[in-house]
Amino acid sequence: MKKFQEKHRANYQRQMKILLWVFGILSLIVVPVFTIYLGAHGNPFELSLSAIGNRPEVRPVFLVWTITMCAYFSSIVFVIVVLTKNSRARIFRILILVSTWLLLITNLIPFLPEKLPVLAHIHTNVALISTVLFAFTLLMLTYTFQNYYPKLFLKSHIAVLCLLAVIIILFIFFEAKWIIEGTCVIGGSIFLFSVMGWLYKENNFDAEDVLGNYDLDLARRDVQRLENRTKEVYEEYLKLNSQLRIAQVELQEIEKYNIKHTSKNDGC
């Protein structure tokens, strides 16, 4: 039993390390480099991300960046929700999917204020809704850490407040420009990766606790599987029993017919 506990704990830690490596590369390298590369196509202090990305020569890169960011942010939030065994996991999945899909739709809408002012207005409003919804999702997610991860709760709230303070200061000086949007994207990716790292350190990997959760999930799956199998077997039993009764009735009818036919032949 002890060897099994140690083996399970080692597997759990190994999976966490793999996740940290994968999302570390994405959070600290791919997202910042890709975002900075996109912003380098224009003046980050004078143009917004939408204005830079909707240039004809930059548009394909901008769309690839959008898809990459949507996939990254939705996947890392999903992973954090699963790792923390969040009781509101379904709500957070819906919120993050809605916000990322809104971002995707936003960046598919052309941002050309001079040629298409109506579409540009829609683009700006949908982008604002997506950003606010995503920020709200992160705040609510960190709030749920309060009961089970007190240190993570404190660190994540301090990090969120610092990030918001930096964004507000930049907004005062530069308004809605790439420097603010880029800071949000890069800061958000670093923040989420930091949450994963803090979660890894705060989780004490208690073998009995991990094994208990594992056994509970395994037992639930076994019960569900056996219930389904029992239902299938019972339905099959009813079907076979019905066929048996029909066959018995047919057998009785055939026997009666044979007896009657034999009696007539004997009489002749």
Q: Which letter does DSSP use for residue 191 in this model?
A: H
| φ and ψ at residue 258, rounded to 5 degrees | -65, -40
At 41-73, the pLDDT tens digits run 888 778 888 888 888 888 888 889 989 988 998
This prediction's pTM: 0.66
Q: Which amino acid is at 46?
A: E
Q: Residue 236: which domain range?
A: 208-268
Give the pLDDT confidence of 6-21 residue by residue, as tens digits.
666 667 677 778 888 9
Q: Are residues 188 and 236 in the same domain?
A: no
One domain, residues 43 and 164 = yes
Whether the pLDDT of residue 84 is over 80: the answer is: no
Task: State whether 21 and 131 are in the same domain.
Answer: yes
Do 162 and 236 share a domain, yes or no? no
Task: Identify the domain boundary among 170, 205, 240.
Answer: 205
Do residues 135 and 232 both lie within one domain? no
Measure the CA–CA gap between 39 and 64, rounded to whole angstroms: 14
pLDDT of res. 25: 92
Q: If you search the block for the tokens 């099959």, which residue do you land on?
A: 236
Q: From CA 212, how far away is CA 207, in angstroms rounded? A: 8
How many Å is the Cα radius of gyration of the chain? Answer: 31
Same domain flag for 216 and 180: no
Whether residue 123 is found in the same domain as residue 199: yes
Judgement on whether residues 130 and 242 belong to the same structural domain of the protein = no
On whether both 14 and 116 belong to a single domain, the answer is: yes
The count of structural domains within the chain is: 2
Q: What is the pLDDT of residues 152-181, one digit of tens each?
A: 888 887 888 888 788 788 777 766 677 888
50 in the same domain as 65: yes
